Amino acid sequence: MLRGMKNLSWQTSQGSRIVRVGVVRSACYAVETGDGRRYLIDTAVPGERAAIEAQLERLGFKALDAILLTHAHGDHAGNAAAWSRRFGCPVYAPAGEVGQVRAGRCVLPAGATPLGAAVMAVQRRLHVCETFEPVPDVRPLPLGEGVFGPHLGVVATPGHTECSASIVVDGEAALVGDALIHRGRSVFPPFADRPEQVGDAWRVLLGTGAETFLCAHGGPVGRALLERSLAALERPGRRPRA
């Protein structure tokens, strides 16, 4: 069973530790698996670089085995190139979005709700999070159980972007990027390229057996809340809320 700890951290029954770092614009997660491997899931934006580096230093993360990106948006890939150099590790991104990470330019999603559409219209005019430092040697993120050792698996969770992925730790916690965005009573992402696929992604996440879902925006989501949200989404005539 996943155990919540102080300072936005969690520990699995198999000894893996997850710590949320960087919470101003977009959170990322430092993961130390039960066999001692260290990963960073997403990388936030350059404006948070120094603060996150200080957090990683306090955690004792002086090296990383890999950086894993849940998708290619600039608020998730913004520090990938810099930290690949700093920590001497490879960067992985969903296979269908490798080209965007390699080019350092992403395609912003459409608004999936009225509020999301309004916010995205402003972001596109201002080119917010569209560009970031390219990662020329980015690698495709493999899918499946145990693809990064016995403690980490990767599942496809498209919806927010066409190729979004989530990282599952010991079958107990899932690091979901923007597949869920927890704001108030809603977990539906207000921005999505494929909003019709969001429910399918949620079913995949529930199918992992995880009991806690850790988002890049907003607080953790428990299994019961995700189950209720999926049931509500599937009601006839139901429209997602922002």
How many CB atoms sit inside 10 A of residue 84's CB?
22
- pLDDT tens-digit readout, 182-227: 877 789 988 888 989 999 999 999 999 999 999 999 999 999 999 9
Name the band, by pLDDT with cuts 50, 70 and 90, for residue 5: low
Calpha distance 221→13 (Å, rounded): 19
91-94: strand order across its sheet: 3-5, 9-11, 17-21, 28-32, 38-41, 66-68, 91-94, 139-141
Do 186 and 85 touch, CB atoms closer than 8 A? Answer: no
* Range from 5-14, 15-24, 114-123, 216-225 carrying the lowest mean pLDDT: 114-123
Name the band, by pLDDT with cuts 50, 70 and 90, for residue 169: very high
List domains and CATH numbers for the chain: 7-233 (3.60.15.10)
Do 132 and 77 touch, CB atoms closer than 8 A? Answer: yes
pTM, whole model, 2 decimals? 0.92
Query: Within the chain, what is the greatest distance between any pair of CA atoms?
Result: 51
Calpha distance 132→115 (Å, rounded): 25
- The mean pLDDT value for 156-165 works out to 96
Q: What's the pLDDT at 239? A: 55
For the cut 70, the answer to whether the pLDDT of residue 124 exceeds it is no
Q: What's the pLDDT at 110? A: 74
What would the two tokens of residue 132 be? 């970031």
